[in-house]
Chains A and B, each alone.
Chain A
Amino acid sequence: MEPAGLAWVLISSALVLFMTPGLAFFYGGMDRRRNVLNMLMMNFYCVLAVPVLWMVLGYSLAQVPFENDFIGGFDSFLLGDISEAGDGGTLATIAFLGMFAAITPALISGAVAGRMKFAAWAVFVPLWLFIVYVPVFKSVYGGWLGQRGSLDFAGGTAIHVNAGIAALAAVLVLGRRRVDPAPPHSMPLVMIGTGILWFGWFGFNAGSALNANGQAAQAFMNTFLAGAAAGLAWVLTEWIRDGKPTNLGAASGIVTGLVAITPAAGYVSGTAPIVIGAIAGVVSCYAVRLKTKLRYDDALDVVGVHFVGGLVGSLLIGFFSNPKFFGAEFGAGLFYGGDTRLLIEQAIANGAAIAWSFILTFVIMKVLDLTMGVRAEVQVELTGLDLALHSENAYHD
């Protein structure tokens, strides 16, 4: 790896790490005051456990050898095949991808908020990492889905659709909260979290070029524009529909736009990020209401934001992909001289990821429920998870 590229990937890795505390604040602010520390802990646990698991085996199974279609191998167990630092490119890539592996299960925590046993979460994260995340990641990048021609620049399918549909499976096993949902306990915390997420997302998307080049710069621009356009679209939609523009609408829209542009970040240009962001913002603004109609308790709208936003962005690649702009060889979208092939491949890749993730997440949760139980006891849920599970209290006098 060239020194400039290496510098950018290392900085991007740190930016992506910062997204997990950002996500923790984003979710924690939306939760009740008596559960906020549990929410933060579920997120921070992912940056405690996953880096270690990633070094031990995760990277090896996800990446090595590249030739394998479905799952990697054991060649890089304990990074055993890396005997020298070299130019740093391999190590930087391992670190960068490890950050992604850490934040992906953390995304699911928002759905199960306020009622899951922490012990069950502590076991769920490693199981989910190896059984769901790694195979999906490997299939999308270099595996059979990627080889068919589908595109996923920074993890729309592999991360957001994957975690979003897993969140749905998880709450179906976990069940609804015992008390009615409450309004966010701290909107300022939600807004700080949103700012941190957006900041970190520049590393997430532009860093995924794994180089300092034009594609990285365009991905950076797209991250900037899609977040703004989707925030604007969400706020305008609710302003017209519900009568008032809200902070939570702005925050939700920004995150939705960032999710939607993630798969497309290095493949689209010009006004495409604005269009993709705006479409995702409007669609998700309506999608978050599905849970009340369909009666599943996705506490902080992981399905409505990450699954729906990721799916919209990934499918829109089939329209907006523009290889000529990047001087690169990848499928062209319908608006840029391509045929329907790319769109179909996008649909197949997401369909496969959805099926794998939903079914296996459901199985993992069921097995955990039958063995250790996933649901916190009534008294724990009612007194608050912070005090009952962590012996801590977020707000003292």
Chain B
Amino acid sequence: MRLITAIIKPFKLDDVKDALKAANVTGITVTEVRGFGRQGGHIETYRGAEYKVDLIPKVRLELVVEDTVADRVVEVIVKSAGTGKIGDGKVWITDVSRVVRIRTGEEGRDAI
């Protein structure tokens, strides 16, 4: 099993979610996060004073999938989250050694 983690632009969440649903993914976890990368931050102005906001809002997606579909899911995310502009985010795959569904105690692919 693989854990797929993606950091994306917040406004692309709906597109990515719909694309993943269409690709038969059974569930995702979404977190609002802040961070910086190559994109850097932005300037906000209050009463004429400038404030540099260098941690900018992003959305983190997490989903656990079977090994065989991991690469395809990554393709779906890359395609649906991309805008071609700086700050589109990243997606990575991590090995997962064990997954348990809490309600039933099912493990492995049955738990996904």
Contact = CB atoms under 8 A, between A and B. Distances in A.
B51 A183 contact: yes
B49 A246 contact: no
A195 interface: no
B46 interface: yes
A167 to B, nearest CB: 16
A238 B53 CA distance: 20
Interface in B39-67: 44-49, 51, 53
A301 B47 contact: yes
A238 B51 contact: no
A244 B45 CA distance: 9
Interface stretch (A201-209, A285-293, A363-371): A285-293
A252 B51 CA distance: 18
Interface string A287-309: 01100100000000100100000
B46 A292 contact: no
Contacts of A238: 45, 47-48
A183 B48 contact: no
A241 B48 contact: yes
Contacts of A242: 45, 48
Nearest to B50: A242
A248 B51 contact: no
Interface residues of A, number: 18
Interface in A210-246: 238, 241-242, 244, 246
- Which of B44, B45, B46: most chain A CB closer than 10 A? B46
Interface in A343-390: none
A301 B51 CA distance: 16
Contacts of A248: 46-47
Interface string A161-200: 0000000000000000000011110000000000000000
A89 to B, nearest CB: 42
User: Among the interface residues B44, B48, B51, which one has the most CB atoms of the partner chain A within 10 A?
Assistant: B48
B44 A288 contact: no
Contacts of A288: 47-48
Interface in A288-335: 288-289, 292, 301, 304
B46 A289 contact: no
A301 B48 CA distance: 12
Contacts of B46: 183-184, 246, 248
Contact of B49 (A241, A244, A292): A292
Nearest to B51: A183
B47 A183 contact: no
A273 interface: no
Nearest to B47: A288
A249 interface: yes
Contacts of A181: 49, 51
B48 to A, nearest CB: 6
Contacts of B51: 181-183
A352 B53 CA distance: 43
A183 to B, nearest CB: 5
B45 A289 contact: no
B44 A249 contact: no
Nearest to A289: B48
A249 B45 CA distance: 10
Contacts of B44: 183
Contacts of A246: 45-46
A182 B50 CA distance: 10
B33 to A, nearest CB: 15
Contacts of A289: 47-49
A300 B48 CA distance: 13
Nearest to A284: B47
Interface of B: 44-49, 51, 53
Given A238-B45, A285-B48, 20 more contacts: A181-B51, A183-B44, A183-B53, A238-B47, A238-B48, A241-B48, A242-B45, A242-B48, A244-B45, A246-B46, A248-B46, A249-B47, A252-B47, A285-B47, A288-B47, A288-B48, A289-B48, A289-B49, A292-B49, A301-B47
6 contacts: A238-B45, A238-B47, A241-B48, A244-B45, A246-B45, A292-B49
Q: Which 10 A-B pairs have the closest CB atoms?
A: A183-B51, A288-B47, A248-B46, A183-B44, A242-B45, A183-B46, A242-B48, A289-B48, A248-B47, A238-B48
